[in-house]
Structure 1
Amino acid sequence: MTDLQAIADRFEIEALRGEFTDAATMHDYDRLASLFTPDGVLRIPEANAEAVGREAIRAGARRLQDLWEYFVQTIHPGTIRLDGQTASGRAYISEFGRLRDGSSHSNYGIYHDRYRRTAEGWKFTERVYELRYLDTTPLTGSVPHPATASAEPSK
């Protein structure tokens, strides 16, 4: 692998992680599921949630996100270890939101990832969320207007 290829691979994997965060925050379950290989796995042990395969990931993400009144996830760079056609890494996450039951959550966690290069580009083969900090103090803010899906970002 050339140095330029390694740079391109890292860039594509970082973009994949960003797409996941955007799809989750924007409730775009089809896009979120498409970021995984057909046999990909998404695990959230603290929520006792595991989804295997794109359809299960799509349905599981919808089920979990439907619990939230609002939800925002922010990704922070982590590590990427390339190994030919596969890679592994970690991404650091901060999230906050309010559930429809009125409870609030502000948390920080780590995604432990495995990736595979496919004909469509890099995809997740496994993404495991590890919760590192949880604050359930009620959020004092509110949504200034009803949340709506916005158009794709301008190019």
Structure 2
Amino acid sequence: MNDRDLIAERLARLAAALDRRDWDAIAGIFTPDATGYRRRGRAEIVATIRAHLGGCGPSQHLLGNHRVEIDGDRARSLTYARVYHQGAGAYEGRFYECFGEYDDHWERTSEGWMLTSRVFDMTMSAGDFGVLQPG
């Protein structure tokens, strides 16, 4: 695979890991000192994600319109996202859906392309944000 395809594949694996709540797989896509979700460091990033997804019901992260720019061992990808979250427990029967774009920065490492920075620019949302709960 070329670099663009490798990055698109990493994005797909991250989306699947988010939906499976595979915290270790999520951590493994970020560099140790990465920034993301308004946090710094792999552990803080995963803790923040876990605080939103850990207690909600099923989710689905749909990604598309990948634009990838490669510059040697660095890259940037812009990816549209539509993310559906189903409520659980007291929020059963409710949902929260958000739409936006991930702005990701990557570094080529011995373990493959790793995220150094992630920002989600949400442009629209619908439903009850309360379905996002810690586990």
TM-score range, shorter chain: 0.7 to 0.9
Structure 1 residue identity aligned to 2:95: S
Q: TM-score, normalised by structure 1?
A: 0.74
Q: 1:30 aligns with which of 20, 24, 29?
A: 24
Alignment partner of 2:49 out of 61, 70, 73: 61
CA offsets, 1:6-62, max 9 Å, x none?
A: x6111111111111101101100110011011111112xxxxxx2211111222221
In structure 1, the gaps of 5 or more residues are: 1-6, 44-49, 138-155
Q: What does 1:6-155 align with in structure 2 at a 5 Å threshold?
A: 8-43=2-37, 50-100=38-88, 101-102=90-91, 103-136=94-127
| 1:50-84 C-alpha deviation (Å, 9 max, x unpaired) | 22111112222211112412211111132101111
Q: Which has the larger radius of gyration?
A: 1
- Structure 1 distance, partners of 2:39, 2:9, is 22
Q: Secondary structure at the match of 2:2?
A: helix
Q: Distance in 2 between matches of 1:86 and 1:11?
A: 14
**Which protein has greater RCO, CA pairs closer than 8 Å, 6+ apart?**
2
Structure 2 partner of 1:145: none
TM-score for both structures, normalised by structure 2? 0.84
Size of the alignment, in residue pairs?
Answer: 125
Look up the SS of the partner of 1:76 in the other structure: strand
Identity of aligned residues (%): 25
Which amino acid is 2:101 matched to?
I
Distance 1:18 1:89 in 2: 13
For the residue of structure 1 that corresponds to 2:58, the secondary structure is strand
